[in-house]
Each structure stands twice: as structure tokens, then as C-alpha cells.
């Protein structure tokens, strides 16, 4: 009897040790775990002043839908992402205001033609000012198809995507959370467009797309909802102020 009991204990331990490790449940706002190794890319430090005034950027901001076939630099992508959600103070305040400082926005860059950045989808992480790869491969053509066949999107070297996690704001603001998250997405997208002007780039906000399919293609977490796409690049037609 004692021998049988020892054998059963040994058998149970063997099964437990042989079972595949599933890892911890992802935290809210984090993408589902994958078998691919995590790839983190440190971004160049953003500059905090420049030659273009706020007034000039406001005056010259225009929707841009035609882009030159030239890549963006990693420094330009860094600056655009910092403009969207970069940290600007020791206590974690960011470039765009947030109701209750709850920061429900998640920002991604869909890279297609960016120097020193392989094609893929990357999550911007403000705390370290870096990128974490979500998935690899050029997704621009697919996004253009999902955006009601707006084929011009695939000509942008990169597409910045702003998503929202409503639950973060709902903790404090309950039923008004959705409204506040949408307001914040507007703040962040305008920041990106004004920063694009300062970098002599063009951008435009796109809101017409298949939410569920875009979420799937980008590999967003269950609680992350895509709110807008911001294709950005060098305007095909140079404006007089550039």
C-alpha cells in the first residue's frame, strides 16, 4: 500500500512538471501572450523645443493623403509618439490631458517604411519612451482595405493608431467614461498632427474602419478599442511654408 501511494505521488508530480507553462494572465491593457520573444526598441530622445511656433503649426495644419515614397526616420517616429502620449513631468503627466490622470489611451505605430524599424505593429510605452513589438509584417495594405477601401493609406510610411481602454476611466467617471476617452483621443491626435507640421510632415485622422477587424489585425488586447488611424509621411506636394 505504501509503495502504491509513493507511486501515485510520483506520477502526479511528473504530470505537473510536464504540463506546459501558460504564464500569468496579461494585465489590463497588455496584449495576449505570444510565443515570440519580446522585442523592445529604445526610441531616440524627443526634443522639447523647435523652430515652429504653436501658432504656425495651427495655421499650416492640413489633411494630407498623398505621400512621397521616402521613409520616416526613427527620430521622427519618436517625436510623433512623444507628442501623442509622451511623459513631461516627474509625476507622470503627459503631453495630452487626461480626465483624472487615468490615461486610458494606448498608442501603436504600424511601421511600413521607417528607417531602423522592421515592418510591424509596435506598442508605444511612454514610461520608457520605447516600442514593444506586437506583431511583425507590413499591415498597411490590410488597414487600407479595412478603412472602407481608402487605398491611399498604404502609401503612408507609418500609421499611428490610437486605442482606448474605457474601463480605466470608468473606474472614476462611470457612464461618462466613453465621452472622456473620445475627448482624449482628439487631444492626442491633434498633438500628432501639429507635431507633424513642425517636422515638415503631413498627417490626417481617419475614423472610418471596421473596428473588430482592425483590432484583430493589430493584435490589440480584449479591452483595447481602436479609435482612430493617423497615416503620416512626407507630403507628395511640398507646401510653400515647408
Q: Residue 114: beta bridge partners?
A: 72, 117
Give me the mean pLDDT over the 3-27 stretch: 39
- Report residue 32 as a C-alpha cell: 495576449
State pLDDT tens for residues 65-76.
999 999 999 999
pLDDT tens by residue, 171-217: 999 999 999 999 999 999 999 999 999 999 999 999 999 999 999 99
pLDDT-above-90 percentage for the chain:
82
Right CATH for 54-233 from 3.30.930.10, 3.10.350.10, 3.90.1150.10, 3.40.109.10: 3.40.109.10
* Per-residue pLDDT tens digits for 215-229: 999 999 999 999 999
Low-confidence winner among 22-36, 43-57, 181-195, 216-230 (lowest mean pLDDT): 22-36
Q: How confident is the model at residue 235 (pLDDT cuts 50, 70, 90)?
A: very high
pTM of structure: 0.84
Where is average pLDDT lowest: 18-22, 50-54, 185-189? 18-22
CA distance 144 to 153: 5
Question: Predicted confidence band at 23 (pLDDT cuts at 50, 70, 90)?
Answer: very low
What are the sequence ranges of the domains in the chain? 54-233
C-beta separation of 164 from 181 below 8 A: yes
Amino acid at each position: 500500500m505504501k509503495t502504491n501511494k509513493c507511486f501515485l505521488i510520483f506520477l502526479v508530480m511528473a504530470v505537473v512538471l510536464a504540463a506546459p507553462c501558460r504564464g500569468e494572465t496579461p494585465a489590463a491593457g497588455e496584449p495576449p501572450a505570444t510565443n515570440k520573444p519580446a522585442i523592445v526598441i529604445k526610441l531616440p530622445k524627443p526634443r522639447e523645443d523647435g523652430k515652429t511656433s504653436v501658432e504656425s503649426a495651427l495655421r499650416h495644419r492640413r489633411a494630407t493623403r498623398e505621400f512621397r515614397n521616402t521613409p520616416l526616420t526613427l527620430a521622427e517616429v519618436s517625436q510623433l509618439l512623444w507628442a501623442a502620449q509622451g511623459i513631461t513631468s516627474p509625476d507622470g503627466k503627459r503631453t495630452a490631458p487626461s480626465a483624472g490622470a487615468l490615461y486610458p489611451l494606448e498608442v501603436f505605430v504600424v511601421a511600413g517604411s521607417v528607417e531602423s524599424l522592421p515592418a510591424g505593429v509596435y506598442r508605444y510605452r511612454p514610461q520608457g519612451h520605447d516600442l514593444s513589438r506586437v506583431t511583425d509584417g507590413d499591415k498597411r495594405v490590410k488597414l487600407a482595405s479595412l478603412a472602407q477601401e481608402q487605398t491611399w493609406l498604404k502609401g503612408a510610411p507609418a500609421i499611428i493608431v490610437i486605442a482606448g481602454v474605457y474601463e480605466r476611466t470608468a473606474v472614476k467617471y462611470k457612464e461618462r467614461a466613453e465621452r472622456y476617452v473620445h475627448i482624449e483621443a482628439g487631444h492626442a491626435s491633434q498633438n500628432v498632427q501639429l507635431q507633424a507640421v513642425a517636422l515638415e510632415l503631413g498627417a490626417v485622422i481617419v475614423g472610418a474602419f471596421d473596428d473588430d477587424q482592425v483590432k484583430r489585425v493589430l493584435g490589440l488586447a480584449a479591452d483595447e478599442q481602436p479609435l482612430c488611424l493617423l497615416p503620416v509621411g512626407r507630403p507628395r506636394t511640398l507646401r510653400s511654408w515647408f
